[in-house]
Structure 1
Amino acid sequence: IKFPSFRPDSWRGKRYLYSGLFDNDKKLKDYTEEEMNTFLYTEPTKLKNPPSNWPRTAKFEGLIHRFRRSFLLNDNFEKNKFRSDIDRVVTSKVCPTCHGKRLNQKVLSCKINGLDIADFTNLPIDEAIAFLEQIDSTKAKYIIEPLMQQLKSLSYIGLNYLSLSRETPTLSGGESQRIKLIRHLNSPLSDLVYIIDEPSVGLHPEDIQRINEIIISLKEKGNTVLVVEHDPDVIKIADHVVDLGPFAGKNGGKFTFEGTYEALLSSDTSTGKALRRKHHLKKHPIQNEDKIHLSHISRNNIQDVSVELPKNAMTVVTGVAGSGKSSLISAGFEHQDNVTFIDQKPVHASNRSNLLTYLNIFDDVRSFFSKETGMKKSMFSYNSEGACPQCHGKGVLKTELAFMPDFTQICDVCNGTRYRPEVLEAKVDGYSIADILSLTVDEAIAFFNSNPKIAEPLQALKATGLDYMTLGQSLDTLSGGEIQRVKLSRYLTESASVENQIFIFDEPTTGLHEDDIPILLDSFNHLIAQNNTVILIEHNLTMMTEADWIIDIGPYAGSKGGKLLFEGLPNKLLEVDQSVTAQHLRRYLAD
């Protein structure tokens, strides 16, 4: 069976090899119809006289049944891990009976004003509102009135381009957050505490104004709202501000300010200084006559749009959420070889992978410890011989409870370090391998300063502003913005020295404090200095002021967007009246 997790020595492979139902030396092409049906289509069944090496409680299940259950019907880690292998053997097509509507013909035959229920839920929100306004029925008003209230709220918050049938896994973080907020907007409840984590994520300043209105309305109903946020426009509406710092990681965690927004503005904190800072457009934007041409691009709401971007410069693509920015850029560059998309999608990672494994230097760290201590290299791996015998290198013990959530506790043998006691006793300059994994990037650079193979990738990580992270931090605990910067760091090392590449970043300022943005800009300028082109899909106004070239898509979202409003030097954008980006950029420069 040529699929990775069905190899003969795997537990899945053994379910066929040791079933006793087949001649393991017989070729599939020689199987009888009955043998092939047994192999592929048998429903889970208990074997009558299984061989001695067959697990006592196991059932035999045909390959098609097992594969569908394991990889097509369930969402699990393996589904992502074997995505390319699944795509090799699985083809998806729209159902020819219901044409993708999912419902039976009896239900689909029921129509209102010519639309069945699937037609209705496939309408964009604004069109769904127009459809409901045409229905005059006393019976239906109890359904229509609350539905209209929610739909109008979704439209107001800038989600008018979505449809009710849109699958939730396809929503962006910003879209999901706004939908959650809308659910509470019309709630009659009071005396609640709402904790909202970065509501500005993925939002244009125009959309943020409406988010602010929702936050204020929740407060005015008699609720307490706590907002974790970096965006100046959201901080501005606070009644009370708490500022944490002064820096990140081990160098943070202290209260640096508490008080009103006005008091914060005059404070000596990094946030206060950032909010006081005056902003100006880049004085000498790069004006390269050599351009990249994207011609007649059509995707989603983008229809036959052509744009040009200067090479070896930084282009910022702007527009409200849902205007078509990502559609334009992804469609325009998807078939080009020299393009690197650096997004915020999680790297395929389990809790056994960390920063060192992603940077491909954990092997070098283990070699260093092996050479210095004389102990076998495999002993310094918590996925191999060095693993704690009790938790098997996980650092935690998980107890699965039948009717309650799993219970997890730190392993009491290795105290969460993942290693055997004898490995923890092997030290270099007083540091065990577990101590190294607890170091921040900054501290590790100092420790490995004479070992460039290890220090150089860590220096690149520091250049993206991630100097506060610890080397052993599991990749599955990183935020979207952190993942993006870890990916970026791979291209900032001396040995990488990439040239003539196009780097596309989707909202790289996500989760960043205003004081962190200059650090990110230095990374982009480093790429440009090496003759690369940088393209940012971005809402952040500070980042717009640093652009060499701006492309603005709009004017609004969905069917009301998708048009090229502007392409050119940033100062010329300020003259475009129909651009909401121009309105907010003018305000930002004047503040």
Structure 2
Amino acid sequence: MTTTTGAGAGSTVPHVADGHDLIRVHGARENNLKNVSVEIPKRRLTVFTGISGSGKSSLVFDTIAAESQRLINETYSAFVQGFMPTLARPDVDVLDGLTTAIIVDQQRIGSDPRSTVGTATDAHAMLRILFSRLGKPHIGSPKAFSFNVASISGAGAVTLERGGKTVKERRDFSITGGMCPRCEGRGSVTDIDLTQLYDEDKSLAEGALTVPGYKAGGWNYRLYSESGFFDPDKPIRTYTRKQLHDFLHRQPVRMKIAGINMTYEGLIPRIQRSMLAKDREAMQPHIREFVDRAVTFTTCPECDGTRLNEGARSSKIEGMSIADACALQISDLAEWVRALNQPSPSSSSRGYPTVAPLLTALGETLDSFVEIGLGYLSLDRPAGTLSGGEAQRVKMIRHLGSSLTDVTYVFDEPSIGLHPHDIQRMNDLLLRLRDKGNTVLVVEHKPEVIALADHVVDLGPGAGAAGGEVVFEGTVERLRTSGTRTGRHLDDRAALKERVRKPVGALEVRGATTHNLQGVDVDIPLGVLTVITGVAGSGKSSLVHGSIPAGSDVVSIDQTPIRGSRRSNPATYTGLLEPVRKAFAKANGVKPALFSANSEGACPTCNGVGVIYTDLAMMAGVATTCEECEGKRFDASVLEYRLGGRDISEVLAMPVAEAEEFFAAGEARTPAAHRTLRHMADVGLGYLTLGQPLTTLSGGERQRLKLATHMAEKSKDRHIYVLDEPTTGLHLADVEQLLGLLDRLVDAGKSVIVIEHHQAVMAHADWIIDLGPGAGHDGGRIVFEGTPADLVTARSTLTGEHLADYVGA
């Protein structure tokens, strides 16, 4: 064994003296990276640290993982590549020693209602096999228990080779699936409120249709008013049964309207196809508002929400159907599976030797859920309802059972959403992946995870343009004495407050039963900083979001994606661009619309997008920087206009911190813009550029951007701020800044309620409400309420024990 010296630290990492045992990155320049060179040991756990915006994700995800995936995609045929996303080669000089990269990030696991926790892992597939073998009565293969497979029968032609000749024969076929025929495996059915589609007292000529996009005189409207199936001058309530059927339900038929070929179909199937088939979150706001108003989702009455047909529900093992098993809390299901795997002296039916390996594998998978703190979930939980942290841990479980070795697993803050008690269990799983012979790369801020590392790469020294350099590379011990920002703050511990604020009132919650809450009664104090804590799944979000009514007095700020296209950026989202455009217009004596890349100022070649998308048919499409505007998005004539010596594209390329100074004084002084920028800097987003696409922001960055936007609003009627893990994505050094911000909100007369696991925030609270004692049905109760000092003194809960250790009590 030999050693290699870490960059800038003099650290040593043991490894075999062979280039094949290193991932070598030389000259990486993605985003803000400044010719970064680093050598990462394989089959080790490497943690990447640094403040938000320092370049961690640019190095790990946008360079190493992106190139691995791009090279893998190139091994497929041109036809297959046509169905894959386009991946450009990262801007790097040398990148070798790569292995297959598996990204385990916080992206949600789709919103398809047929996607569940069970289908997102191997658990549901194994459960289907189990019921196909042991279920009584026996109803068929594993497909018979799948709500993604319909039961169909029919006949078709098959081609056979017989006696040297090719012949065709007609064969009957039958597929037995488990899908409920009523809801088609979704578990819910939709009902449309007809009163939201039209005013039955009006005629079509009088504008009866009230569906967005069906304005009188438009083509959608003319399709109905000129179809000839009914009199457009008659009120809809006077239609005959046939006319009403043609209006609402008629099958598609071709016809000519004003000499143009069009397809007519009933209003309901047309709306279902054009609106309801789309992802709700991708809808335009006015369409989404209409759908929420016009459509109601109810549990399917035929399958009672199980998604399965009667046959699949009738087959049982030990009195339990597969629907019953999927509805169990996973920790309980694991116990049921273990009982099946054990012979029982009282029953010859127990202990199934033919499926013992399957029962063992299923039990291990379910135990992994419990180990990682997700035992409170059920396999029938829709995958789209999982938080980012839950989704990441579900993906992690999927890979734990993999037979692959010597691959690179890439994690993005796996500690998100985890109580300190749960982080240790998650750490154990990271080590298991490493010990199977894999390379594990983790982007992380939590000291508990950093301490786990075999190797640390610290980026900085600052964020954005001030970052993008490797400032330390080596062991955790040497990081502590390295003098870097991460090293200096690694052992930071917040102290308990000497004095806590007194509440000025309380939000009374009585008999709360949302999800797993067990009739909770609690008074949430107002006028102070209140922290709601507890292990993952204990009921924190259920208490806060389910019991605090949203209204004009409450601002609820979470980490859900911000709606918008690739044109959206912090400047457009916060409303900052509006005063900036007006300032440019006033300084140059022209129209504000010229300074919008979505309006008159757009580059005519790329239409203000900044890139050109080229469709190469069966080959993967390519996105290239627009040569006309060089990615600046604006017409060249617009860039001749300046404010404070900068054109509009240069302003949008500024980091928030620089722009805050720019708009504070001189010719560029714009108070409205400066106020918004100040709030963005206050929430720790000083490194973001004003024109950065919103699609590139992390969950924590999205939440802080929403918070900054609300703080910049002039409205004074919102007094209660509800935040969901605002420390997500924050470096150790930035947590102190966040605490100062929360204090300023409270001192300004606001009530701040925070769902949080970070001990520094707990220690800084005026009041703590701790839920537990466990997760799922083992939680849902108030186990402590009082000051942080009282919680530390009592040490009566898991939170109390960890907080006491944190503050050194």
Task: Using structure 2 for the length normalisation, give the TM-score.
Answer: 0.69
- The superposition leaves residues 48-84 of structure 1 with CA deviations (integer Å, 9 ceiling, x where unpaired) of x4532x3x5x533332112112332332654363322
Partner of 1:265: 480
Partner of 2:258: 51
Partner of 2:236: 28
Range 180-189 or range 216-225, more displaced: 180-189
Q: 1:299 aligns with which of 473, 494, 514?
A: 514
Deviation for aligned residue 1:115: 2.1
In structure 2, do the counterparts of structure 1 residues 389 and 11 end up closer, same or farther at CA, with 3 Å as the change threshold?
farther
**Does the aligned pair in 2 maintain the 1:298–1:305 contact within 8 Å?**
yes
Which structure 2 residues correspond to residues 532-551 of structure 1 after superposition, within 5 A? 532-551=750-769
**Does the aligned pair in 1 maintain the 2:458–2:486 contact within 8 Å?**
yes
Q: 2:249 aligns with which of 22, 37, 41?
A: 41
Deviation for aligned residue 1:319: 0.7
**Does the aligned pair in 2 maintain the 1:499–1:530 contact within 8 Å?**
no
2:210 equivalent to 1:2: yes
**Does the aligned pair in 2 maintain the 1:19–1:51 contact within 8 Å?**
no
In structure 2, do the counterparts of structure 1 residues 230 and 423 end up closer, same or farther at CA, with 3 Å as the change threshold?
same
- The superposition leaves residues 442-490 of structure 1 with CA deviations (integer Å, 9 ceiling, x where unpaired) of 2222222122122111111111111111112222322211121112113
Match of 2:254, SS state, is: coil
Give the distance between the partners of 1:430 and 1:510, measured in 2 at CA: 37
In structure 2, do the counterparts of structure 1 residues 63 and 282 end up closer, same or farther at CA, with 3 Å as the change threshold?
same
**Does the aligned pair in 2 maintain the 1:417–1:434 contact within 8 Å?**
yes
In structure 2, do the counterparts of structure 1 residues 144 and 209 end up closer, same or farther at CA, with 3 Å as the change threshold?
same
Q: Which amino acid aligns with 2:776?
A: G
Which structure 2 residues correspond to residues 571-590 of structure 1 after superposition, within 5 A? 571-590=789-808
Partner of 2:32: none
**Does the aligned pair in 2 maintain the 1:497–1:530 contact within 8 Å?**
no
**Does the aligned pair in 2 maintain the 1:125–1:154 contact within 8 Å?**
yes
Deviation for aligned residue 1:375: 2.2
Range 547-556 or range 422-431, more displaced: 422-431
Deviation for aligned residue 1:196: 0.9
In structure 2, do the counterparts of structure 1 residues 214 and 299 end up closer, same or farther at CA, with 3 Å as the change threshold?
same
Q: 2:787 aligns with which of 569, 577, 582?
A: 569
Partner of 1:465: 684
Q: Which amino acid aligns with 1:571?
A: A
Give the distance between the partners of 1:108 and 1:498, measured in 2 at CA: 55
Which structure 2 residues correspond to residues 435-446 of structure 1 after superposition, within 5 A? 435-446=650-661
Partner of 1:559: 777
Q: 1:74 aligns with which of 278, 292, 296?
A: 278
Give the distance between the partners of 1:389 and 1:336, measured in 2 at CA: 43
Which structure 2 residues correspond to residues 161-240 of structure 1 after superposition, within 5 A? 161-240=376-455
Give the distance between the partners of 2:214 and 2:358, measured in 1 at CA: 50
User: Percent identity among equivalent residues?
Assistant: 43
Q: 1:141 aligns with which of 353, 356, 381?
A: 356
> Of the two structures, which has the highest relative contact order with CA contacts closer than 8 Å and spacing of 6 or more?
2
Q: 2:321 aligns with which of 106, 109, 116?
A: 116
Q: 2:366 aligns with which of 145, 151, 155?
A: 151
- The superposition leaves residues 223-281 of structure 1 with CA deviations (integer Å, 9 ceiling, x where unpaired) of 11111000100000101111011111111111111111000111211111111334321
Give the distance between the partners of 2:487 and 2:253, measured in 1 at CA: 68
Give the distance between the partners of 1:371 and 1:463, measured in 2 at CA: 29
Give the distance between the partners of 1:12 and 1:429, measured in 2 at CA: 49
Partner of 2:614: 399
Deviation for aligned residue 1:578: 4.4
- The superposition leaves residues 395-417 of structure 1 with CA deviations (integer Å, 9 ceiling, x where unpaired) of 22223455555432222222222
Give the distance between the partners of 1:420 and 1:27, measured in 2 at CA: 51
- The superposition leaves residues 308-353 of structure 1 with CA deviations (integer Å, 9 ceiling, x where unpaired) of 3332111111111101111112233126652221111123222222
Q: Which amino acid aligns with 1:231?
A: K
Deviation for aligned residue 1:21: 6.2
Match of 2:248, SS state, is: helix
Deviation for aligned residue 1:581: 1.1
Partner of 2:696: 477
Give the distance between the partners of 1:165 and 1:509, measured in 2 at CA: 30
Range 91-100 or range 168-177, more displaced: 91-100
Deviation for aligned residue 1:194: 1.0
Range 448-457 or range 400-409, more displaced: 400-409
In structure 2, do the counterparts of structure 1 residues 80 and 379 end up closer, same or farther at CA, with 3 Å as the change threshold?
closer
Deviation for aligned residue 1:293: 3.1
Partner of 1:531: 749
**Does the aligned pair in 1 maintain the 2:767–2:786 contact within 8 Å?**
yes
Give the distance between the partners of 1:473 and 1:225, measured in 2 at CA: 29
Range 423-432 or range 234-243, more displaced: 423-432
Task: Give RMSD over aligned pairs.
Answer: 2.4
**Does the aligned pair in 1 maintain the 2:655–2:689 contact within 8 Å?**
yes
Deviation for aligned residue 1:17: 6.2
Range 509-518 or range 289-298, more displaced: 289-298
Give the distance between the partners of 2:771 and 2:429, measured in 1 at CA: 26
Deviation for aligned residue 1:577: 4.4
2:555 equivalent to 1:350: no
**Does the aligned pair in 2 maintain the 1:196–1:227 contact within 8 Å?**
yes
Match of 1:42, SS state, is: coil
Partner of 1:62: 266
In structure 2, do the counterparts of structure 1 residues 297 and 414 end up closer, same or farther at CA, with 3 Å as the change threshold?
same
Range 139-148 or range 568-577, more displaced: 139-148
Range 322-331 or range 75-84, more displaced: 75-84
Range 319-328 or range 514-523, more displaced: 514-523
In structure 2, do the counterparts of structure 1 residues 15 and 263 end up closer, same or farther at CA, with 3 Å as the change threshold?
farther
- The superposition leaves residues 131-157 of structure 1 with CA deviations (integer Å, 9 ceiling, x where unpaired) of 223433234434322211100111121
Task: Please list every run of 5 or more consecutive structure 2 residues that lacks an aligned counterpart in the other structure.
Answer: 1-208, 341-350
Give the distance between the partners of 1:8 and 1:349, measured in 2 at CA: 28
Partner of 1:373: 588
**Does the aligned pair in 2 maintain the 1:342–1:484 contact within 8 Å?**
yes
Deviation for aligned residue 1:497: 6.9
Which structure 2 residues correspond to residues 282-297 of structure 1 after superposition, within 5 A? 282-288=497-503, 290-297=505-512
Range 68-77 or range 442-451, more displaced: 68-77
**Does the aligned pair in 1 maintain the 2:580–2:670 contact within 8 Å?**
no
Give the distance between the partners of 1:392 and 1:23, measured in 2 at CA: 44
Partner of 2:295: 90
Match of 1:310, SS state, is: strand
Give the distance between the partners of 2:695 and 2:221, measured in 1 at CA: 29
Give the distance between the partners of 1:244 and 1:15, measured in 2 at CA: 60
Deviation for aligned residue 1:491: 4.1
Partner of 1:415: 630
Q: Which has the higher strand share?
A: 2
Q: Which amino acid aligns with 2:305?
A: G
Task: Please list every run of 5 or more consecutive structure 1 residues that lacks an aligned counterpart in the other structure.
Answer: none
In structure 2, do the counterparts of structure 1 residues 18 and 482 end up closer, same or farther at CA, with 3 Å as the change threshold?
farther
Task: Using structure 1 for the length normalisation, give the TM-score.
Answer: 0.93
**Does the aligned pair in 1 maintain the 2:513–2:520 contact within 8 Å?**
yes
Give the distance between the partners of 2:572 and 2:780, measured in 1 at CA: 41
**Does the aligned pair in 2 maintain the 1:506–1:537 contact within 8 Å?**
yes
